[in-house]
């Protein structure tokens, strides 16, 4: 293969050539199953599910593909004989960061699980030329650099020019009634964009299923090339900018025109290609909902609803009622957040000029909604739930009104949606609401990321768990087996030593593998409360400064977090953490007890390194704010003990492992809502009345922390004087007490390892295999692996 591709032999070839040679080999190895999967779906006219997502945070694919094809060990061994280290060449692959965080990573876990569970399900998104920015720290400040992940090519994708479709923007539209009685739209002066699909095979684990991730790229249509040179360049740049770069905002709404263009671009291209594919089966459009399910991952693809309506009305000439029925039966929607700043709403002017026909349809959906509900519900409720209101189009309302299913992503989150955030809608459409707790793929997050643990588990309970993750419960039989607990400890020690080497190499910080590795890895956001973690570190530092003999087990606090470039407060927190790290890591008097490691450029590849080395999993968001969380699941699966508030899926983790095997602290969601209701939280009182907390907070403004005056002052003010929106000061004492408990438990190795084991044993239910099976069964009504039914229970 190498010889064919590069006319050189192995001895001469460099890592890069070896990587691309192997990648090409793997791609051709799965090509047969890819086309036979498609042929089978077509021949059996299987109902297909399409997962529409603005983001797919895939991570590197070489090892994952080798594992799923069942040739990882063969290839590793074969390469070794040639003197090649597989681990070295997998590093060559660019990590495709086509997502911000949890939402995009969920989409990636889901497509892996759909293929594994033999669900005819595919991803549909955007082929961003630049992924999420590369993060660098300069003097402790976050600096963003472009992530040109396609620079050296992408072996996994196939450009399919023959499947390109046209997407239209702007222009004028008017309707003309034809002799047959339907309204035919006429368009004038539209800007036409060519959407070119790039397909990536999504390989099932241990089966012959290969599904497709279709990512769209925006290009200038060929017929537009006949214009003067400068107009051509300008138009080309304007069009190509649509799929140029991922918006780096997580949990925050970005109201810019380019973002709206991106959303409509991949929605329209995706739905057009689905309908074209459907029609190839020769079926009538009337049966579309029997063969197609479209899932809307958050509201970013909510234009799926008016776009499908547009195609059914204007191209297929169905009447409104009929088209609307089909649309509702096809569409389903996942809500990912209750935070109002993340709820998308587009100004009417913007959407009606960019998408005139789509806006007409949205208006008509809204008009009919108001008309239909008038007889059934109060005016107040209708005004609160309608789509177009206050000069804006509310995307969540559109998604709910146009879907047959609305799901939250953890039990608590779904309950809050029903009772609070979407209560009006719940009263109107009670049967549409359901829960689907998020999940993670054990293939990437255990079998690949933590090979020593995989081996140990296989030794103890066999490998059924690899296909059926709840089988991990068998590990519970070893809870009092000292030998197993020691082996577990030894594996953690090896992973920690491995990570320590990386930290020394990359950051020049020496950390002791026998310290507690305390990990908080997630986007930097005020609601996730990295600050609470930092205040506790400052407390320990002050304790040690006062009395160097303070009895604590050595700790390494590990952070990984990117902040949205426009999120000033989050960037100030990054700077503050880095400044505290400077202070603590260079203070010889406490050096062996505390270290802070803030890893630059957190992403999937780094997560794979950090998670197997974690002892403590920090999941400390303000209760009610984290919809689910998934790093909590990855860390638990790798034997970390969770330190958490009762938020998102933490609640379900506690239910699985029992209160003795998780450390819970802080306000509950109910208490938070109570505070909102009576307005009785005054953070300044906590500052005034709690001397320990006061001493810690004062370090932010008294010069203790080097080179962070502005940041320290701003953060101090936000906490003490401007209300402390996320109740950091309220939860401080309980958090400190919880951390003391961790310290004590860790010093009893058998107790600690027993907790770790019970966490691994209880993590089975969080496989994304179960999550997608529930979507397939309850929402999409699509087929799945025959023996997978029992997994649903």
Ligand X SMILES: *Cc1c(COP(=O)(O)O)cnc(C)c1O
Of 634, 656, 730, 754, the catalytic one is 634
d(Cα 603, Cα 97) in Å, to the nearest integer? 7
Of residues 101 and 306, the one with the C-beta less far from ligand X: 101
d(Cα 405, Cα 382) in Å, to the nearest integer? 20
d(Cα 399, Cα 691) in Å, to the nearest integer? 49
Q: Specify which residues 145 forms β-bridges with.
A: 134
Of 345, 528, 536, 595, the catalytic one is 528
Q: Which residues does 465 contact at the CB level (< 8 Å), separation at least 6?
A: 442, 457, 471, 472, 474, 764
Of 134, 444, 496, 522, the catalytic one is 522
Q: Tokens for 626?
A: 């984290």
- Whether residue 645 contacts residue 664, with contact meaning beta carbons closer than 8 Å, is answered with yes
- Residue 51 Cβ vs ligand X, minimum distance, rounded to whole Å: 17
- Kindly indicate which of the ranges 263-271, 538-546, 628-636, 680-688 contains the residues binding ligand X, using the contact rule CB under 6 A: 628-636
386 contacts ligand X (rule: CB under 6 A): no
Tell me which of 305, 604, 640, 761 binds ligand X, using CB under 6 A.
604
Q: Tell me how far apart the 2 most distant CA atoms of the chain are, in Å.
A: 92
- Residue 110 Cβ vs ligand X, minimum distance, rounded to whole Å: 13
603 contacts ligand X (rule: CB under 6 A): yes
Of residues 214 and 528, the one with the C-beta less far from ligand X: 528
345 contacts ligand X (rule: CB under 6 A): no
Instruction: Tell me, rounded to whole angstroms, the distance of Cα 392 from its chain centroid.
Output: 27
Nearest CA among 562, 609, 586 for reference residue 135: 562
- Residue 337 Cβ vs ligand X, minimum distance, rounded to whole Å: 11
Per residue, the 3-state secondary structure of 589-650, as one string, reads CCCCCEEEEEECCCCHHHHHHHHHHCCEEEECCCCCCCCCCCHHHHHHHCCCEEEECCCCCH
- 158-159 and 165-169 as β-strands: parallel, antiparallel, unpaired? unpaired
Work out the angle at residue 199's Cα, subtended by the Cα atoms of residues 197 and 201, and round it to the nearest 5 degrees. 170
d(Cα 667, Cα 644) in Å, to the nearest integer? 11
Query: Residues 562-601 vs ligand X: string with x where CB under 6 A?
Result: ----------------------------------------
- Residue 416 Cβ vs ligand X, minimum distance, rounded to whole Å: 17
Tell me which of 630, 683, 759, 774 binds ligand X, using CB under 6 A.
630
How many CB atoms are closer than 10 A to CB 244? Answer: 16
- Whether residue 258 contacts residue 346, with contact meaning beta carbons closer than 8 Å, is answered with no
Whether 377 is catalytic:
no
- Kindly indicate which of the ranges 602-610, 655-663, 699-707, 739-747 contains the residues binding ligand X, using the contact rule CB under 6 A: 602-610
Whether 539 is catalytic:
no
Whether 630 is catalytic:
yes
- Whether residue 164 contacts residue 221, with contact meaning beta carbons closer than 8 Å, is answered with no
- Kindly indicate which of the ranges 375-383, 429-437, 470-478, 630-638 contains the residues binding ligand X, using the contact rule CB under 6 A: 630-638
Of residues 272 and 642, the one with the C-beta less far from ligand X: 642
- Residue 523 Cβ vs ligand X, minimum distance, rounded to whole Å: 6
Of residues 131 and 197, the one with the C-beta less far from ligand X: 131
Q: Tokens for 375?
A: 């007889």
Of residues 132 and 267, the one with the C-beta less far from ligand X: 132
Of residues 650 and 699, the one with the C-beta less far from ligand X: 650
Tell me which of 414, 470, 631, 638 binds ligand X, using CB under 6 A.
631
d(Cα 594, Cα 584) in Å, to the nearest integer? 7
Size of the site for ligand X (CB under 6 A): 11
248 contacts ligand X (rule: CB under 6 A): no
Of 523, 539, 625, 656, the catalytic one is 523
Residue 65: which H helix or E strand, with range?
Answer: helix 62-69
Of residues 345 and 625, the one with the C-beta less far from ligand X: 625
- Residue 475 Cβ vs ligand X, minimum distance, rounded to whole Å: 23
629 contacts ligand X (rule: CB under 6 A): yes
- Kindly indicate which of the ranges 478-486, 487-495, 583-591, 627-635 contains the residues binding ligand X, using the contact rule CB under 6 A: 627-635
336 contacts ligand X (rule: CB under 6 A): no
Of residues 90 and 620, the one with the C-beta less far from ligand X: 620
Taking each helix axis from N to C end, the angle separating 709-716 and 568-585, rounded to the nearest 10 degrees, works out to: 120
Tell me which of 607, 644, 651, 776 binds ligand X, using CB under 6 A.
607
Of residues 294 and 760, the one with the C-beta less far from ligand X: 760
- Residue 726 Cβ vs ligand X, minimum distance, rounded to whole Å: 15
Report helix, strand or coil for 365: helix
- Kindly indicate which of the ranges 346-354, 470-478, 629-637, 672-680 contains the residues binding ligand X, using the contact rule CB under 6 A: 629-637
Residues 632-651 that bind ligand X (CB under 6 A): 634
522 contacts ligand X (rule: CB under 6 A): yes
Instruction: Kindly report the length of the chain.
Output: 793
Whether 528 is catalytic:
yes
Residues 70-129 that bind ligand X (CB under 6 A): 101-102, 105
d(Cα 251, Cα 342) in Å, to the nearest integer? 5
The DSSP line for 337-352 is ---GGG--EEEHHHHH
Alpha carbon distances (Å) from 43 to 15, 281, 555, 709: 42, 8, 59, 67
Q: Which residues does 166 contact at the CB level (< 8 Å), separation at least 6?
A: 192, 193, 194, 195, 221
d(Cα 352, Cα 26) in Å, to the nearest integer? 46
Binding site for ligand X (CB under 6 A): 101-102, 105, 522, 603-604, 607, 629-631, 634
Active site residues: 336, 522-523, 528, 630, 634
């Amino acid at each position: 293969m190498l010889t064919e591709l590069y006319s050189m032999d192995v001895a001469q070839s460099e890592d890069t050539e070896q990587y691309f040679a192997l990648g090409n080999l793997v791609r051709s190895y799965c090509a047969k199953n890819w086309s036979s999967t498609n042929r089978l779906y077509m021949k059996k006219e299987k109902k297909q599910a399409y997962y529409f997502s603005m983001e797919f945070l895939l991570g590197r694919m070489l090892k994952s593909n080798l594992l799923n094809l069942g040739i990882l060990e063969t290839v590793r061994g074969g390469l070794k004989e040639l003197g090649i280290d597989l681990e070295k060449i997998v590093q060559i692959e660019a990590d495709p960061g086509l997502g911000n965080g949890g939402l995009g990573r969920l989409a990636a876990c889901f497509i892996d699980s759909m293929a594994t569970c033999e669900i005819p399900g595919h991803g549909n998104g955007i082929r961003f030329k630049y992924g999420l920015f590369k993060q660098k720290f300069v003097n402790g400040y976050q600096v963003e650099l472009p992530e040109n992940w396609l620079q050296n090519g992408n072996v996994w994708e196939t450009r399919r020019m023959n499947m390109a479709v046209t997407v239209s923007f702007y222009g004028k539209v008017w309707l003309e009634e034809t002799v047959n009685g339907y309204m035919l739209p006429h368009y004038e002066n539209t800007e036409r964009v060519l959407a070119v699909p790039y397909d990536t095979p999504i390989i099932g684990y241990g089966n012959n299923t290969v599904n497709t991730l279709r990512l769209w790229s925006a290009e200038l249509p060929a017929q537009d090339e006949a214009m003067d040179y400068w107009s051509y360049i300008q138009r080309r740049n304007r069009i190509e900018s649509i799929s140029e770069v991922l918006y780096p905002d997580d949990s925050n709404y970005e109201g810019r025109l380019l973002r709206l263009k991106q959303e409509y671009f991949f929605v329209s291209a995706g739905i057009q290609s689905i309908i074209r594919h459907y029609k190839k089966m020769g079926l009538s459009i009337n049966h579309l909902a029997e063969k197609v399910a479209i899932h809307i991952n958050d509201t970013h693809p909510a234009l799926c609803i008016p776009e499908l309506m547009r195609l059914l009305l204007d191209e297929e000439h169905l009447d409104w009622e009929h088209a609307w029925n089909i649309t509702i039966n096809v569409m389903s929607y996942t809500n990912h957040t209750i935070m109002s700043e993340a709820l998308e709403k587009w100004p009417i002017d913007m959407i009606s000029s960019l998408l005139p026909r789509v806006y007409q349809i949205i208006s008509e959906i809204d008009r009919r909604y108001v008309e239909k509900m008038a007889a059934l519900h109060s005016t107040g409720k209708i005004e609160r739930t309608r789509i177009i209101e206050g000069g804006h189009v509310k995307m969540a309302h559109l998604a709910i009104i146009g879907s047959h299913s609305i799901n939250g992503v953890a039990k608590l989150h779904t309950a809050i949606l029903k009772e609070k955030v979407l209560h009006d809608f719940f009263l109107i459409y009670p049967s549409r609401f359901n829960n689907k707790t998020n999940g993670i793929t054990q293939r990437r997050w255990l079998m690949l990321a933590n090979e020593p643990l995989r081996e140990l588990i296989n030794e103890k309970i066999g490998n059924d768990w690899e296909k059926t993750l709840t089988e991990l419960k068998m590990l519970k039989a070893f809870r009092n087996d000292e030998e197993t607990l020691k082996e577990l400890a030894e594996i953690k020690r090896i992973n920690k030593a491995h990570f320590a080497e990386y930290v020394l190499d990359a950051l020049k910080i020496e950390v002791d593998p026998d310290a507690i590795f305390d990990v908080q890895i997630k986007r930097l956001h005020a609601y996730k409360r990295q600050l609470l973690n930092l205040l506790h570190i400052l407390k320990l530092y002050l304790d040690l400064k006062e009395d160097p003999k303070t009895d604590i087990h050595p700790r390494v606090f590990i952070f990984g977090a990117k902040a949205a470039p426009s999120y000033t407060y989050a960037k100030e927190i990054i700077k503050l953490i880095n400044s505290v790290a400077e202070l603590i890591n260079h203070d010889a008097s406490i050096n062996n007890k505390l270290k802070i490691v803030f890893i630059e450029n957190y992403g999937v590849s780094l997560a794979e390194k950090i998670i197997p080395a974690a002892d403590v999993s920090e999941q400390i968001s303000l209760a009610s704010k984290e919809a689910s969380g998934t790093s909590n699941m990855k860390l638990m699966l790798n034997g970390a003990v969770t330190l958490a508030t009762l938020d998102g899926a933490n609640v379900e983790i506690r239910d699985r492992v029992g209160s003795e095997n998780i450390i819970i602290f802080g306000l509950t969601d109910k208490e938070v809502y109570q505070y909102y209701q009576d307005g009785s939280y005054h953070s300044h009182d906590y500052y005034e009345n709690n001397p320990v907390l006061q001493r810690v907070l004062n370090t932010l403004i008294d010069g203790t922390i080097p080179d962070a005056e502005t940041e320290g002052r701003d953060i101090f003010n936000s906490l003490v004087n401007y209300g402390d929106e996320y109740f950091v000061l309220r939860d401080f004492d309980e958090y400190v007490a919880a951390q003391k408990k961790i310290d004590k438990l860790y010093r009893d190795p058998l107790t600690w390892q027993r907790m770790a084991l019970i966490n691994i044993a209880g993590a089975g239910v969080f496989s994304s295999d179960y999550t997608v099976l529930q979507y397939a069964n309850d929402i999409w009504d699509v087929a799945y692996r025959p023996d997978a039914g029992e997994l649903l229970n």
